Chains A and B, each alone.
Chain A
Amino acid sequence: GAVVSQHPSWVICKSGTSVKIECRSLDFQATTMFWYRQFPKQSLMLMATSNEGSKATYEQGVEKDKFLINHASLTLSTLTVTSAHPEDSSFYICSARDYRVQHFGDGTRLSIL
């Protein structure tokens, strides 16, 4: 079945650091990938839609200069959290669409000290 790999699985870093998270579709090509954020005991909130070869589409309230998205190939999207601060600490999950179904990575736990 369709597999999405996300790396790293967890990151701990100091405030002010930029952090890059990778999302790969392993056995299918994805022109569209999605980035979500999930707070404890809450559901997934869509942050942005990543489109291969073009600019990402951000949801209302998401700072595009804060969360940089690059989708350079049909199997890889990256999310860079720039100058991260403690309030950016969260669980970030990516997904990729294979036909009509979104398949999710196992998430990245980001902790900013």
Chain B
Amino acid sequence: EDQVTQSPEALRLQEGESSSLNCSYTVSGLRGLFWYRQDPGKGPEFLFTLYSAGEEKEKERLKATLTKKESFLHITAPKPEDSATYLCAAGLADSWGKLQFGAGTQVVVTP
């Protein structure tokens, strides 16, 4: 059974305190590992797609990495505006676009 697990469930950081979010996945035939950011009452906003182990992508204070079993989202020197729920999703082999989401990590960055 395809499964995506994120940890921790919640993370509280001081501004400037770097940390990492974990996404472990068990899927038969990964078609991309996606990271999204979701603000309260909004739909997910696309951040990154990773396709192969060893791949890394960066955007401002965020950096995503991928291994054969998990992905990490590193937040470097976070600011309060980085507060959000971060979702990872595995693209499934049987359909382009079909995603299996993890439960998300809620990040709160305090000044």
Chain A interface (Cβ within 8 Å of chain B)? 4, 6, 32, 34, 42-46, 49, 93, 95, 97, 100-107, 109
Which of B42, B49, B97 has most A Cβ within 10 Å?
B97
In whole angstroms, how far apart are the Cα atoms of A40 and B34 in the complex?
21
Rounded to whole angstroms, the CA-CA distance of A106 and B45 in the bound complex is 9
Q: Are B101 and A43 closer than 8 Å at their CB atoms?
A: yes
When the two chains form their complex, are residues B42 and A107 in contact, meaning their CB atoms are under 8 A apart? yes
Residue numbers in B under 8 Å from A102 (CB-CB) = 34, 46, 97, 99
Given A100-B49, A104-B45, A107-B41, are A42 and B103 neighbors across the interface (CB < 8 Å)? yes
Count of residues in B whose CB is under 8 Å from the partner chain: 21
Query: Main SS of the interface on chain A?
Result: strand
A34 to B45 Cα, complex, angstroms: 15
Q: Give the residue of A32, A42, A105 whose beta carbon is less than 8 angstroms from that of B97.
A: A32
Q: Contact: A49 with B45, CB < 8 Å? A: no
Q: Does B98 contact A (CB under 8 A)?
A: yes
CA distance A49 to B49 in the complex (A): 21
- Given A43-B87, A43-B103, A44-B101, decide whether A101 and B43 contact each other with a Cβ distance below 8 A: no
Q: Give the one of A101, A102, A107 with max B CB within 10 A.
A: A102
> What separation, in Å, do the CA atoms of A65 and B20 have in the docked complex?
43
Interface string of B78-105 (1 = CB under 8 A from A): 0000000001000100011111011110
A105 and B43 form a contact (CB under 8 A): yes
Q: A43 to chain B: which residues have CB within 8 Å? A: 87, 101-104
The answer to whether B98 touches A44, judged by C-beta atoms less than 8 angstroms apart, is no
Q: List 9 A-B contacts (CB under 8 A).
A: A32-B96, A42-B103, A43-B104, A49-B97, A49-B98, A93-B43, A97-B97, A102-B34, A104-B36
Q: A93-B43, A107-B41 are in contact. Are A34 and B34 (CB under 8 A)?
A: no
In whole angstroms, how far apart are the Cα atoms of A4 and B42 in the complex?
12
